[in-house]
């Protein structure tokens, strides 16, 4: 007799060591000349954007809460985290996290990797995102994974 269903697969989270290793490998594959598949950011701008986002998540920096986020943030977060589907392409970016300048890609990538490793010791029980609002630790872990995955897919990684 066959089982009726497999047990449901848990949503990936950045707090899982295996997931972090997978993400690190994908980040390390990214190069300054990696071609983008969609969007406007080049590899440096994407790496810098993701670093700023993770810096915020770790509570090292904060951004003003967006009015539109107060209206639609919680509903949008629920939609993003409802399943394993990747985040849709060409989503809006917080104005303070739009990167228009250039810098040292390799140095920025290493800073991002080190900050990504800090998720092994993440201890904020809740976090406030400038668009989504208050997020539980579980939501943070899932969203950080999906946000990072989204941007790595943007460059075929």
For residue 48, give the H/E element and its range.
helix 43-57
For residue 146, give the H/E element and its range.
helix 137-153
Q: What's the length of the chain?
A: 157
- Which residue ranges form the domains of the chain, and what is each CATH number? 17-153 (1.20.120)
The pTM (predicted TM-score) of the whole model is: 0.90
| pLDDT, one tens digit for every residue, the chain (157 residues) | 443 444 345 789 999 999 999 999 999 999 999 999 999 999 999 999 999 999 999 999 989 888 888 899 899 999 999 999 999 998 888 888 899 999 999 999 999 999 999 999 998 877 889 999 999 999 999 999 999 999 999 999 9
Using alpha carbons, select from 78, 74, 68, 47 the residue that is nearest to residue 128: 74
Residue 2: strand, helix, or coil = coil
């Amino acid at each position: 007799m066959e089982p009726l269903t497999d047990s449901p697969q848990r949503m990936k989270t950045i707090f899982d060591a295996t997931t972090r290793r997978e993400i690190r490998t994908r980040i390390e594959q990214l190069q300054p000349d990696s071609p983008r598949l969609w969007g406007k950011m080049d590899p440096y701008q994407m790496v810098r954007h993701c670093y700023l986002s993770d810096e915020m998540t770790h509570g090292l920096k904060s951004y003003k809460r967006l009015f539109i986020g107060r209206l639609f943030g919680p509903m949008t977060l629920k939609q993003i985290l409802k399943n394993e589907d990747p985040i849709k392409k060409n989503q809006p970016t917080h104005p303070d996290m739009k990167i228009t300048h250039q810098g040292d890609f390799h140095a920025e990538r290493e800073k991002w990797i080190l900050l990504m490793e800090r998720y092994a010791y993440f201890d904020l029980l809740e976090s406030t995102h400038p668009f989504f609002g208050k997020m539980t630790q579980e939501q943070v872990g899932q969203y950080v994974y999906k946000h990072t995955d989204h941007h790595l897919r943007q460059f075929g990684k």
